[in-house]
């Protein structure tokens, strides 16, 4: 009997062309989402490549001057100076390489710098040199495959299923169908299952194609695991909305009322709840604004000129290992004096920076706890984690960059305070940046919790729908 129900459903869907319109919209939106995401990631990759090429050419140029003992172009750009090379002209880039799936879920990658120069400067000034982006674009949510899945896919599901049962009753075919050896529950589950199968196969198939178009090597164990996690999230997200549609249909209302109720559910789960969570998190854990950082830095540096000698004296007192052997520090050397002053400003700014990062971590932790209030949040966060464009991976990148920053300073600071003259060999020994990926187990655990967060409400709503079908009015 299930086969007859499926055939009946196929005839209904093809007769009113709903399925064809859903297919067309999915193909167009997913195609544009993949194209848009691919273009953005290509921009990031090109920007990082250009930055690394600029780094290579710049260091090669200065190393050539030093190796051949040539005079510098000008004193302010002396390649022999450890301070100038460590602070300005010999710096290296720290960068976050996009993952193969980054184009499918842009996530946070359009909000945060994917690369910046690492120097002996304070960490509060490290991100001045990063990629530039139109600020208008940053105000818009990126249109990518994850956006289509989270925002548009539920609308298409609801368009296919708002009249699952009500249409049969309104057309007068319900009694005829139930005159056959089939229960109402079995009839409804077969209809829902068939429509869910078709739409899920469409979106999963198109997602699989997007993986291939983005050059993902599915023979790689890590890539295969990411694909399976992505598909698992999409399938369960689809199941949630079909279960919700079935439960609303089981209330016994007409098709128009069902459509209004389901539209309200979409608005609540996809728009209102995420907005409320965002507002709550920002209210509970507010972060310092860029203006506050600027004001704090200005206040910390405004009287540097009046206490330069004192600053350098205090710095050498705290770091006697940097005083040249057998010499007294030359307090007239402005270059060293300015560097020491910057270190003091950094110490002044450190509490504000630490507070900012701590608040961001608290915000993310709260979002992780509250995400289960909405399947849209669960799905969006999970897809972003799988694609490697979430805040957690970005924070990991910052920790890697900070480690490199400490290594860079540890190399240059002794040379700066010893007024060391760099040689060609020293250039080869400059610390090199290397990104170390975060543990894969963290992402797997996060996605597993997200899967559970989708399974539980889906089963609960599906069970409620089945219970409501017991009292479904077959006429009226």
The whole-angstrom separation of Cα 105 and Cα 447 is 15
pLDDT reported for residue 345: 62
Q: Which residues make Cβ contacts (< 8 Å) with residue 292, sequence separation at least 6?
A: 352
pLDDT reported for residue 332: 39
pLDDT reported for residue 143: 83
pLDDT reported for residue 73: 74
pLDDT reported for residue 109: 74
The whole-angstrom separation of Cα 167 and Cα 353 is 59
The whole-angstrom separation of Cα 41 and Cα 47 is 10
Instruction: State pLDDT tens for residues 331-372.
Output: 435 556 666 666 666 666 677 777 777 877 788 888 888 889
Q: Which residues make Cβ contacts (< 8 Å) with residue 268, sequence separation at least 6?
A: none
Distances (CA, A) of 130 to 114, 279, 371, 391: 7, 29, 31, 18
pLDDT reported for residue 351: 74
pLDDT reported for residue 305: 45
Closest by alpha carbon to 243, among 459, 454, 473, 471? 459
Token match 């997913």: residue?
Answer: 30
**Intervals of the chain under pLDDT 50:** 127-140, 303-309, 329-332
pLDDT reported for residue 331: 41
The whole-angstrom separation of Cα 471 and Cα 339 is 79
pLDDT reported for residue 335: 58
Rg (CA), the chain: 30
pLDDT reported for residue 355: 76
Instruction: Please state the domain extents for the chain.
Output: 1-476
The whole-angstrom separation of Cα 463 and Cα 412 is 66
Alpha-carbon torsion (99, 105, 107, 112), positive or negative: positive
């Amino acid at each position: 009997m299930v086969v007859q129900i499926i055939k009946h459903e196929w005839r209904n869907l093809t007769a009113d062309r709903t399925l064809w319109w859903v297919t067309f919209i999915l193909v167009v939106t997913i195609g544009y989402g993949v194209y848009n995401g691919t273009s953005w990631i290509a921009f990031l990759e090109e920007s990082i490549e250009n930055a690394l090429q600029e780094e290579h050419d710049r260091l090669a140029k200065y190393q050539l001057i030093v190796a051949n003992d040539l005079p510098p172009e000008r004193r302010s750009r002396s390649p022999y100076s450890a301070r100038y090379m460590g602070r300005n002209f010999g710096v290296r880039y720290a960068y976050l390489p996009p993952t193969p799936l980054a184009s499918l879920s842009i996530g946070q990658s359009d909000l945060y710098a994917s690369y910046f120069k690492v120097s002996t400067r304070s960490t509060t000034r490290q991100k001045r040199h990063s990629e530039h982006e139109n600020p208008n674009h940053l105000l818009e949510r990126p249109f990518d495959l994850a956006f289509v899945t989270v925002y548009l896919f539920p609308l298409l599901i609801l368009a296919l299923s708002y009249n699952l049962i009500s249409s049969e009753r309104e057309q007068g075919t319900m009694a005829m169908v139930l005159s056959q050896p089939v229960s109402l529950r079995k009839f409804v589950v077969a209809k829902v299952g068939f429509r869910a199968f078709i739409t899920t196969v469409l979106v999963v198939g198109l997602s699989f194609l997007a993986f291939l178009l983005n050059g993902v090597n599915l023979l790689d164990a890590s890539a295969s695991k990411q694909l399976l996690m992505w598909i698992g999230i999409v399938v369960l997200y689809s199941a949630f909305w079909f279960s919700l549609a079935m439960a609303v249909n089981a209330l016994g209302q007409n098709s128009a009322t069902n459509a209004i109720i389901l539209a309200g559910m979409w608005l609540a789960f996809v728009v209102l709840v995420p907005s409320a969570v965002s507002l709550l998190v920002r209210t509970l854990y507010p972060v310092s604004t860029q203006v506050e950082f600027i004001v704090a830095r200005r206040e910390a540096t405004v009287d540097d000129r009046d206490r330069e000698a004192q600053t350098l004296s205090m710095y050498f007192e705290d770091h006697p290992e940097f005083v040249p052997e057998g010499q007294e520090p030359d307090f007239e050397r402005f270059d060293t004096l300015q560097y020491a002053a910057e270190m003091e400003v950094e110490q002044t700014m450190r509490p504000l920076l630490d507070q900012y990062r701590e608040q961001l971590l608290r915000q993310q932790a709260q979002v992780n706890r509250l995400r289960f209030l909405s399947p849209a949040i669960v799905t969006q966060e999970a897809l972003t984690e799988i694609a490697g464009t979430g805040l957690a991976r970005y924070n990991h990148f910052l920790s890697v960059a900070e480690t490199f920053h400490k290594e860079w300073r540890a190399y240059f600071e002794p040379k700066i305070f010893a007024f060391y003259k760099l040689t060609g060999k020293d250039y080869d020994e400059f610390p090199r940046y290397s990104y170390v990926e975060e543990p894969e187990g963290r992402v797997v655990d996060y996605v597993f919790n997200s899967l559970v967060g989708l399974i539980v409400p889906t089963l609960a709503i599906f069970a409620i729908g089945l219970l409501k079908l017991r009292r479904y009015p077959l006429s009226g």
